[in-house]
């Protein structure tokens, strides 16, 4: 791919993120919108304030802070308290990005680092998801009859009545159970997961919209196909090997969102083609292993952060050497 200026790159990312953002606000209502606004505003303000404090040139115009804030908002539940969202955005920008030198120097993906900080600090809030807004209930809410968001579903709640009520149907997937046993037809479950009318993080629910956004980024040569495809395929294969439902496994949680928007990060992911393939494979496998045996209901965040740590090794391992002539036998 030809070099892309940071400003153009971030502009394309914002365009691609528009569809998941709008859909998240539509199905989750005002709490989703407020979290998006707060996360983006704090991220941009934190970058501007910190760079002014250290007497460095402002980088607001490249929109990288806005992208980080929006990414963070889209990977957290809509019911997350706004002050927690603000802390997460502040941590993502100041600690995960600016402490390493700013744009282009960070080792770990800032948005995922912010979420990791939040889930370790506030695990209950970050592993509890609201049901999508009942539009009839939304109207009633306007006159004060019902809450804007309906039932809250904890990640620890066994999945017995509503087969798509949690962001990751972990309790059944872990044991290799058939989701249709929960009382809903398998086809209906797959359709719901694909379209996105289910609970989950703000921007991770609709697979079809994430795919559309990914196609846009691929067509505009903003991202490379290797890391996303290898991550999804390896997660599918690993789920199947471990006796978990591979189709539901790749459609639930934040796997597709992480593959398209996080595993393709220019800074924290490998720059070589073989390195991208290895990065995606590793992230997909680790995601499934965390889902199978981990304490948290989702493994995408930590899998990509772990692979961020080994990205420099992949770059050295797969770097193409120039000027080297093998010795003749």
**Interval 27-85: pLDDT, tens:** 999 999 999 999 999 999 999 999 999 888 878 888 899 999 999 999 999 999 999 99
Residue 298 exposed, middle or buried by CB count within 10 Å (0-12, 13-18, 19+)? buried
- pLDDT for 294 equals 80
pLDDT classification of 177: cutoffs 50, 70, 90: very low
Nearest 5 degrees, angle CA 18-CA 8-CA 104?
100
* Total Cβ atoms within 10 A of residue 62: 18
Beta 128-130 vs 152-154: how paired, if at all? antiparallel
pTM of the predicted model as reported, rounded to 2 decimal places? 0.84
Q: State the CATH architecture for 6-318.
A: Orthogonal Bundle (1.10)
- pLDDT for 134 equals 59
What are the distances in angstroms from CA 313 to CA 15, 220, 276? 32, 28, 12
Q: Helical H runs in the chain?
A: 6-28, 30-53, 64-74, 82-90, 110-121, 123-126, 135-142, 170-173, 186-195, 207-219, 226-241, 246-251, 255-257, 273-293, 300-318
99: pLDDT strictly greater than 70: yes
In which residue are the tokens 């490249």 written? Answer: 62
Share of the chain above pLDDT 90, in %: 50
- Distance, in Å, from the CA atom of 20 to the CA atom of 123, rounded to the nearest integer, reads 24
């Amino acid at each position: 791919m030809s070099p892309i200026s940071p400003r153009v790159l971030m502009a394309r990312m914002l365009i691609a993120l528009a569809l998941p953002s709008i859909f998240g606000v539509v199905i989750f209502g005002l709490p989703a919108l407020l979290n998006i606004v707060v996360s983006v505003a704090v991220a941009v303000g934190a970058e501007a304030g910190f760079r002014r404090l250290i007497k460095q040139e402002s980088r607001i115009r490249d929109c990288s802070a806005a992208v980080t804030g929006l990414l963070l908002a889209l990977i957290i539940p809509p019911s997350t308290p706004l002050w927690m969202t603000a802390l997460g955005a502040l941590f993502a920008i100041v600690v995960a990005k600016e402490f390493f030198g700013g744009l282009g120097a960070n080792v770990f993906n800032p948005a995922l680092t912010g979420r990791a900080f939040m889930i370790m600090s506030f695990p209950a809030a970050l592993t509890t998801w609201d049901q999508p807004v009942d539009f009839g209930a939304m109207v009633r809410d306007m006159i004060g009859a019902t809450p804007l968001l309906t039932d809250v579903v904890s990640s620890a709640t066994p999945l017995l009545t509503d087969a798509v009520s949690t962001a990751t149907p972990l309790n059944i997937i872990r044991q290799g159970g058939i989701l249709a046993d929960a009382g809903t037809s398998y086809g209906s479950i797959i359709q719901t997961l694909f379209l996105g009318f289910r609970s989950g993080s703000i921007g991770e629910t609709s697979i079809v919209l994430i795919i559309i956004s990914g196609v846009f980024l691929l067509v505009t040569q903003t991202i490379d196909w290797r890391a996303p495809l290898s991550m999804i395929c390896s997660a599918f294969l690993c789920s199947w090997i471990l006796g978990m439902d591979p189709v539901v496994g790749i459609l639930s949680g934040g796997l597709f969102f992480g593959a398209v928007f996080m595993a393709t990060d220019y800074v924290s992911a490998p720059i070589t083609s073989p390195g991208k393939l290895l990065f995606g494979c590793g992230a997909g496998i680790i995601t499934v292993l965390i889902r199978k045996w981990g304490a948290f209901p989702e493994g995408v965040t930590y899998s990509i952060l772990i692979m961020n740590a080994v990205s420099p090794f992949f770059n050295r391992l797969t770097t193409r050497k120039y000027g080297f002539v093998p010795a003749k036998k």
